[in-house]
């Protein structure tokens, strides 16, 4: 579960308490501090660098100097601006708030359902940002690997045992399965060949499109027909075989999913 720290900026102590009470119902949200005026608020934000700021922009106490201009001040000091969530009783300020790029606009008193929607939007935005980051990393790595594989001859793996030389085209290998100190290699033809090397050995010598996804499995990304994240299962093309993946190698599953996305891809 993604955690979000937050600060409440409001000149009304009762309103601050109400917002904090609603937020306490969400385990994703962690309270850091509250402020009642502009200078105090700026100090707290610069000191704690929260993920979220709840701010009143139409204060009862005008001397608190709270307004949307507070956002401009943050850009002077921070390279990453927290998500700004306006909490106010005035609907009329919504359009102006949008011009300042606020993340959300909640009317007081803040309701649990409204804050739930905001948290879900935060989760979605965070996931999209992380996916974009992974995609950019893939874009910088995968094309180079793909171009090099095109330039080179297809990889041939030789399974050698007591004078017996068995040659396998790497492109024909669906997956590797550990079997104690040996490894069973499953081909697209349905044939299985045993190599007297550990799965760790193959992990060290193989590159794209082979990914380790489990203590017992290395999979050829080109033979994946389906990935079921809920059940932690990969399905092999033209086969009933289901291959599990573990949390330890979840990052490799994310790389595979992103690799599909950056190709000739349509999601419906």
Mean pLDDT by 10 residues, the chain (268 residues): 91 96 95 96 96 96 94 92 95 91 94 94 85 71 56 82 90 95 94 93 93 96 94 93 93 91 81
Residue 173 lies in a domain: yes
pLDDT number for residue 189: 93
Question: The CATH number of the domain where 213 resides is what?
Answer: 2.40.50.1020
pLDDT number for residue 143: 59
Q: Based on the fold, state whether residues 111 and 190 are members of the same structural domain.
A: no
Residue 18 lies in a domain: yes
Tell me how far apart the alpha carbons of residues 246 and 244 are, in angstroms, rounded to a whole number: 7
pLDDT number for residue 132: 75
| Single pTM value for the model | 0.52
pLDDT number for residue 8: 98
pLDDT number for residue 225: 95
Structure tokens of 92?
Answer: 């009329």
Residue 223 lies in a domain: yes
Tell me how far apart the alpha carbons of residues 74 and 52 are, in angstroms, rounded to a whole number: 13
Residue 135 lies in a domain: no
How many folded domains does the chain comprise? 2
Q: Based on the fold, state whether residues 49 and 83 are members of the same structural domain.
A: yes
In the block, residue with structure tokens 């990969």: 234
pLDDT number for residue 267: 80
pLDDT number for residue 265: 79
The overall longest dimension of the chain from CA atoms, in Å, is 89
Q: Which residue range(s) make up the domain with 178?
A: 153-261
Q: Based on the fold, state whether residues 116 and 166 are members of the same structural domain.
A: no
């Amino acid at each position: 579960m993604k955690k979000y720290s937050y600060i409440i900026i409001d000149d009304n102590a009762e309103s601050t308490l109400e917002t904090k009470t609603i937020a306490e119902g969400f385990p994703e949200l962690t309270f850091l501090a509250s402020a009642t005026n502009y200078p105090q608020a700026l100090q707290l934000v610069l000191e704690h660098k929260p993920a979220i700021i709840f701010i009143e922009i139409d204060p009862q106490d005008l001397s608190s100097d709270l307004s949307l201009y507070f956002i401009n001040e943050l850009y002077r000091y921070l390279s990453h601006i927290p998500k700004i969530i306006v909490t106010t009783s005035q609907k009329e300020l919504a359009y102006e708030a949008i011009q300042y790029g606020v993340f959300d606009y909640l009317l007081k008193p803040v309701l649990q359902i409204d804050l739930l929607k905001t948290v879900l939007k935060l989760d979605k935005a965070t996931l999209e940002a992380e996916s974009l980051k992974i995609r950019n990393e893939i874009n910088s790595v995968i094309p180079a690997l793909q171009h090099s594989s095109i330039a080179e001859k297809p990889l041939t793996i030789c399974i050698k045992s007591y004078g017996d030389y068995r040659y396998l085209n790497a492109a024909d290998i669906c997956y590797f399965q550990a079997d104690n100190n040996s490894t069973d290699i499953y081909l697209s033809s349905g044939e299985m060949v045993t190599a007297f090397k550990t799965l760790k050995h193959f992990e060290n010598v193989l590159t794209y499109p082979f990914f380790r996804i489990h203590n017992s499995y290395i999979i050829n990304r080109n033979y994946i027909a389906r990935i079921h994240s809920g059940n932690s299962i990969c399905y092999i093309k033209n086969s009933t075989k289901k291959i599990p993946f573990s949390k330890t190698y979840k990052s490799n599953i994310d790389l595979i999913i992103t690799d599909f996305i950056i190709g000739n891809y349509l999601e419906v």
